[in-house]
Structure formats: C-alpha cells, structure tokens
Amino acid sequence: MTPEAVQIKTIKADMKPPTILVSQTKAVLLMISGDPALQPIAKTGLSVVVNANLELYYHENGKTYYLFTGEQCCPLSDLKGTWEGNVKPPKEFETIPKDHPRLT
C-alpha cells in the first residue's frame, strides 16, 4: 500500500511576544475593543461605553469620558490622552436609573 500525499494548510502566525506592562504604583488597565461603542442612557445625556472592560461613560454635553475605578472618577476628553485626577462627576450621573445595568 502506497501512502497518500497529505496537503498541509499553512497559516501566517505572528510569533512576536505581547507587550508586558509594569507599574510600580497603583494602575488601572482600561481596554476598549475597537472604537468606543456608545449606548445612550435614556434622558441623562450620558452614554455607557459597552465595549470597555471597566465602567466608562461619555458625557455628551461636556464631550468628556468618565472612568469609574471603584475608588475614583477620572475625566478625559480624548481617550488617547492622560487621565486627570479624581473629580466629582457631573450632576447627570445622579439621574442614571437605579435599574440600569452597570459594567462592574
């Protein structure tokens, strides 16, 4: 019996190791899968970023993102910028319905 030739399908694989991030101080890793996907929260002027791993909101009037880390609320107008320190969120956050699903 003669063995048959087997066709092997090749794939292009990137074997470069991933970047490892290290911080000597407290840090938070915010990951957003692609561009921010905003889901409006009715009658609040706020949207939640549904494709983020942390509780991240967008305030339409202020054109600002707000990241809630559990300890702090950090604002940022451009997601590629530097987060500012802890602030009190705008009053619109008080109008989020209690039954609105949170990400955390």
pLDDT of residue 35: 94
DSSP labels for 59-82? ETTTTEEEEE-SS-EEEESSTTS-
pLDDT of residue 57: 94
Question: Could you give the CA distance from residue 26 to residue 71 in angstroms, rounded to a whole number?
Answer: 11
pLDDT of residue 103: 43
Rounded to a whole number of angstroms, the distance between the first and last alpha carbons of the chain is 62
Domain range annotation of the chain: 38-95
pLDDT in tens, 35-87: 999 999 988 999 999 999 999 999 998 899 999 887 788 999 989 888 878 89
Has this prediction a pTM greater than 0.85? no
